[in-house]
Amino acid sequence: MSAGILDGRAVASKIEAELKERIVALASRGIRPRLVVLRVGNDPASEIYVRAKAKKAVELGIDAEPRHLPDTLSEEALLGIIASLNKDQSVDGILVQLPLPPQIAASNIIEAIDPRKDVDGFHPSNVGRLQLGRAMLVPCTPAGIMRLLDSAAVPLKGAHAVVIGRSDIVGKPAAALLLQRDATVTICHSKTRDLASIVGEADIVIAAVGKPHLIRGEMIKRGAIVIDVGVNRLDRSEENLGLLQRTPLKLRTLEEKGSVLVGDVEFTTASERASWITPVPGGVGPLTIAMLMENSVTACEARHR
């Protein structure tokens, strides 16, 4: 029996419909949420992400202002821009697209953003509030993961959730959110011994490492829920052709188009054992943008409360 598909696009559409109602309520008071997105340099992926975020914001009625800054920009100059945006009473949300050029320390930039405008949820104050269960602005991808689980009415209380990846952006905040819902959480990483046996005990698997097909289908416990956060683009190398032998649809796409997107989980074989699974693409990705929009609206409502 094949797993049910957790459709991130469908869940995102429901969230966006709810946000439109909140934005209309703000508009009735003469308020329009405003989000400023800063992109430094010419990273191609960052350009795509920023364009998608700005487009979605405009669709929902959020005033989005993407700013493209040169890759020669100094850290001091970027800090000055952020200081100005912090003071600007018309700005509700500030997002600095990562990665940044090597002359700029991302940690310094994140800490400079007003926590009340930190729509990424990365500021130390927001991280601390998350750990205390009092967060207002939660990192977008982990928040989206929780919405996906709720969409399938996944029982979290007492469930064993294995989070593979310990990043500040996904792994750690996802673990905190699961703990707050009474799940028992194990965090795995590159130094974890016998990963397969730990994954095999999990009721919920969240893979967020960035290594294609790290989690093989036979590692998944029958009936488990699998959330695949990884997005890996593979080219037509001999190694990748071998990696995709058990996923014929992905292999065919690779051979036809020269590249293909795959997750951290071997989808075809894992879906034969899981009860629910996210596809790549179309799983977690749409929720990340939807939750960014929600944070932008939440930040606006809080400032005008």
As annotated, the active-site residues are 53, 97, 120
* Rounded Cα–Cα distance for residues 223 and 210 (Å): 24
Q: What is the CA radius of gyration of the chain?
A: 20
Residue 273 near residue 224, CB atoms below 8 Å = yes
Residue 296 near residue 35, CB atoms below 8 Å = yes
* Rounded Cα–Cα distance for residues 48 and 230 (Å): 17
3-class DSSP state for residue 164?
A: strand
Residue 235 near residue 258, CB atoms below 8 Å = yes
User: Kind of pairing, strands 160-164 and 184-188?
Assistant: parallel
| Residue 129, both tokens | 């509030």
Q: How far apart are the first and last CA of the chain?
A: 50
* Rounded Cα–Cα distance for residues 300 and 171 (Å): 27
- C-alpha separations of 104 from 42, 76, 94, 119, 208 in Å: 14, 9, 17, 20, 25
Residue 65 near residue 92, CB atoms below 8 Å = no
Residue 221 near residue 278, CB atoms below 8 Å = no
* Rounded Cα–Cα distance for residues 214 and 91 (Å): 41
Cα-Cα-Cα-Cα torsion 120, 122, 125, 130, nearest 10 degrees, comes to 80
